[in-house]
A = this chain, B = another copy of it.
Amino acid sequence: MITVLCGGVGAARYLAGVLQVVDPAQVTAIVNVGDDLELHGLHVSPDLDTVTYTLAGAINPETGWGLVGETWQAMETLGRYGGVTWFNLGDRDLGTHLYRTHRLDAGAALSTVTAEIVRAWGLALRVLPVTDDRVRTRVTVSGEGEIGFQEYFVQRRHAVPVTAVRLDGVEAATPAPGVLEALDAAETVVIAPSNPLVSIEPVLAVPGVRAAVAARRDDVVAISPIVAGSALKGPADRMLRELGHEASVVGVARLYRDLAGVLVVDEADADRAAAVEAEGLRCVVAPTVMSDPARAAALALVSLSPRP
């Protein structure tokens, strides 16, 4: 049994590697819902969908999110009315949001609906939202105050400095059914190469999850999303600096040292291995840039190989 703590794109690519080397029925993804949003009356779960669509081979290669073969007719009509169009919703993708919203309105839990969606894409792994409760990542940006995560990430193209992150609702949230059990039963728990502050932290912050991960520290492997001081995608590097962390594998090691026994860092950071180990984690150096499925599978093998 393998359990992976996940944000969106990086985690999805890593999971695609895992599914090449592990029986999918033995894999559980625990996914961030802090960047979910309600838009036009619909419940949108970007990280859950990115994981599902990527693993189904249906992710839109042009955008990196949404579905392949997408069209944008609904957005075009919305634009005619001067509606809110900064968060693009493709026509194919909309079907997922319609289904999710309908089921949630009918009283189904997000974890139940997610399982239905994942099954409909023919996937055998288990994908769990970290919680069925409402948690929303809110970001304070210079000069503007606090805004929703997607307002920061999409509307402002994460180009504005962040001074604080708050996880609205997290104190009252409880882990979704199966989350703590999946952490408890896993042979290895992996912290995927996702943004530590806005993808992984909203997972850990759900009461009970951080302690459950820490309790498995010897079997927890984190993969650094920072390579040679930069995020491969998104604002993780700037955000780390803006919030007082070091944008490096050592900064990542400091964030995860109470949770993970191993940090996998890219070969580009081989010279920082000793500094990582000085933080109390074993450092594994390996190619971490998952530019194709073979490299993702190789990273999965490295991260899941028995620890000494």
The answer to whether A94 and B92 touch (CB under 8 A), given A78-B99, A116-B81, is: no
Identity of the chain B residue whose Cβ is nearest the Cβ of A122 in the assembled complex:
B80
Q: Could you give, for residues 28-59 of chain A, a 1 whenever the CB lies within 8 Å of some chain B CB and a 0 otherwise? A: 00000000000111110000000000000000
Partner of A81, one of B41, B79, B99: B99
In the complex, A214 has a CB within 8 A of chain B: no
Closest beta carbon of chain B to A119's beta carbon, Å: 9
In the complex, A75 has a CB within 8 A of chain B: yes
Please name 16 further chain A to chain B contacts, defined as beta carbons within 8 Å, in addition to the given A78-B99, A81-B99, sorted by A numbering.
Answer: A40-B101, A41-B43, A41-B98, A41-B102, A42-B42, A73-B94, A74-B91, A77-B94, A78-B95, A78-B98, A79-B95, A82-B116, A82-B120, A83-B98, A83-B102, A89-B98
Which residues of B lie under 8 Å from residue A91 when comparing CB positions? 71, 73-74, 91, 94
In the complex, A67 has a CB within 8 A of chain B: yes
Which residues of B lie under 8 Å from residue A84 when comparing CB positions? 102
Q: Interface residue count for A (Cβ, 8 Å)? A: 37
Closest beta carbon of chain B to A69's beta carbon, Å: 8
Which residues of B lie under 8 Å from residue A73 when comparing CB positions? 70-71, 73, 90-92, 94-95
Complex CA–CA separation, A94 to B94 (angstroms)? 9
The answer to whether A101 and B41 touch (CB under 8 A), given A77-B92, A77-B93, A96-B77, is: yes
Measured CB to CB, the residues of A under 8 A from B are 39-43, 67, 70-71, 73-84, 89-96, 98-99, 101-102, 105, 116-117, 120-121
Complex CA–CA separation, A81 to B40 (angstroms)? 21
25 residue pairs of the A-B complex, CB under 8 angstroms, read A39-B102, A40-B42, A40-B99, A40-B102, A41-B42, A42-B42, A73-B94, A74-B74, A74-B98, A76-B92, A77-B93, A77-B98, A78-B95, A78-B98, A78-B99, A80-B95, A80-B120, A80-B121, A81-B96, A81-B99, A81-B116, A82-B120, A83-B102, A91-B94, A94-B94
